[in-house]
Structure 1
Amino acid sequence: MPDTEFVSPHAPEPLPQSPSGRQWWDLNVRSDAERWAGLNRSGPGLDAFITAELERTGLPAGKLALVGFSQGTMMALHVGLRRPQALAGIIGYSGILAGAEHLKGEIKSRPPVFLAHGTMDQVIPVDALVSSVEALAENEVPRSWHVAHGMAHGIDRTGLSLGAEFLQKRLS
């Protein structure tokens, strides 16, 4: 993808366990209510970043894709499905569509979504993939997914390859 620019925003909060790491909200928080609160605190900042990048590059929204891992997946789904113009797509690894019960009243666009998740994920169980895919279906969002058997909280080669194919198709 030689004509593609990759930009990565920094999450707003420092990660206490790692001086160079960042987090969108406290990584130790795993409750649905706290995830939802974290998304709503950090979402406007990511949305503004995306808007600024589109203005900076002159790209239409349909030529921008969001890719996230774990909290990044949650952020990409939260913000990407609420933008007024559909993005090219959203890729999420080892995450969840947090606050899915709110989506019906807040969804503004339906970009295609690709999700990948490991069956041995101890941070966000693979059931999160199933519930996310079901919620996307209920909201008529095009979706595809990959289950990595035996993988923990991470990204496998097949998931990377499928994500690259998804991007190439959506951005060509």
Structure 2
Amino acid sequence: MTEFVEGPALAALSCGKPAYLVVLIPGGDVDAQAMLDLALGWAPAMPKADFVTLQACEAEASWEGLDLFLDEMLARRRLPDSHLALVGFSDGATLALRVGLGRRSAIAALVAFSATAYDAEFETHAQPPLLLVHGEADRISPYQSMLAFKAALKEKGAPVWSFRRPGLGHAIDDDGVAAAGDFLARHVVHPAPAQHDHAHS
């Protein structure tokens, strides 16, 4: 049995074949539908993106299983890794980090809300643009552990940013959602190739 299934999804607003895939990985007390609700605010800036939530079929679903499932999802849409983004919350964010940093080629963007574990020993084959959103009052996963993880990745030359949320616990707030949406729109949506004007060349 596969370790993951696709949960609630939001099809590309452009109605054509999706050009990008944003996979949302729930965790903690945030379920798949709540994760998809976040995408409602992001979709207008990314009209060619499919937003799909993932649901684990097993309590101890592995990051290797997720890696293979992402391969299948991309293959069905005939999209490369460079058109994939991962967004996770809590233990879903930890899973997103393991997979996003461990894939053979870099994905377009990776957003982790309040990951439960930040391990500087995560394999970092790829270095996708990464945004770490974390509450300073998080009692489940200390804010300082995120800062240490960020510093370790920066030592490796990774393109990583963080967004601190003063007073926020283990949760997602509106400012964090807005920052994630801006980050995704900036890194996932590839600009159209410039049209060369041969008349003046």
TM-score range for the pair, normalised by the shorter chain length: 0.7 to 0.9
Quote the residue 2:155 is aligned against. 138
What is the letter of the counterpart of residue 156 of structure 1?
D
Quote the residue 1:45 is aligned against. 65
8 Å Cα contact 1:94/1:154 also seen in 2: yes
TM score, norm. by length of structure 1: 0.78
**Cα distance in 1 for residues equivalent to 2:155 and 2:56:** 30
What is the letter of the counterpart of residue 152 of structure 1?
G
**Cα distance in 2 for residues equivalent to 1:126 and 1:84:** 29
**Cα distance in 1 for residues equivalent to 2:178 and 2:184:** 10
Do structure 1's residue 88 and structure 2's residue 133 form an aligned pair?
A: no
Identity of aligned residues (%): 36
Could you tell me which of 62, 80, 83 is aligned with 1:63? 83
Quote the residue 2:176 is aligned against. 159
8 Å Cα contact 2:94/2:118 also seen in 1: yes
The one-character-per-residue Cα deviations of 1:15-66 (angstroms, maximum 9, x if unpaired) are xxxxxxxx5x4xxxxxxxxxxxxxxx61111101110011011111111000
1:122 to partner: Cα distance:
1.2
TM score, norm. by length of structure 2: 0.68
8 Å Cα contact 1:64/1:87 also seen in 2: yes
Runs of 4+ in structure 1 displaced over 4 angstroms? none
The one-character-per-residue Cα deviations of 1:110-141 (angstroms, maximum 9, x if unpaired) are 10100111111111111121112112112211
Could you tell me which of 118, 128, 131 is aligned with 1:111? 128
Write 1 or 2 for the structure with the bigger share of helix. 1
1:97 to partner: Cα distance:
5.4
**Cα distance in 2 for residues equivalent to 1:119 and 1:95:** 13
8 Å Cα contact 2:111/2:180 also seen in 1: yes
**Cα distance in 2 for residues equivalent to 1:85 and 1:157:** 31
What is the letter of the counterpart of residue 98 of structure 1?
Y
Unaligned runs of 5+ in 1: 14-22, 26-40
8 Å Cα contact 1:77/1:97 also seen in 2: no
Change (3 A) 1:97 1:135: farther
Do structure 1's residue 124 and structure 2's residue 141 form an aligned pair?
A: yes
**Cα distance in 1 for residues equivalent to 2:128 and 2:47:** 23
SS in 1 for 2:50: coil
**Cα distance in 2 for residues equivalent to 1:72 and 1:170:** 21
1:99 to partner: Cα distance:
3.1
**Cα distance in 2 for residues equivalent to 1:127 and 1:98:** 10
Quote the residue 2:57 is aligned against. 12
Do structure 1's residue 168 and structure 2's residue 181 form an aligned pair?
A: no
Give the number of aligned pairs. Answer: 144
RMSD: 1.5
1:87 to partner: Cα distance:
0.1
**Cα distance in 2 for residues equivalent to 1:43 and 1:4:** 23
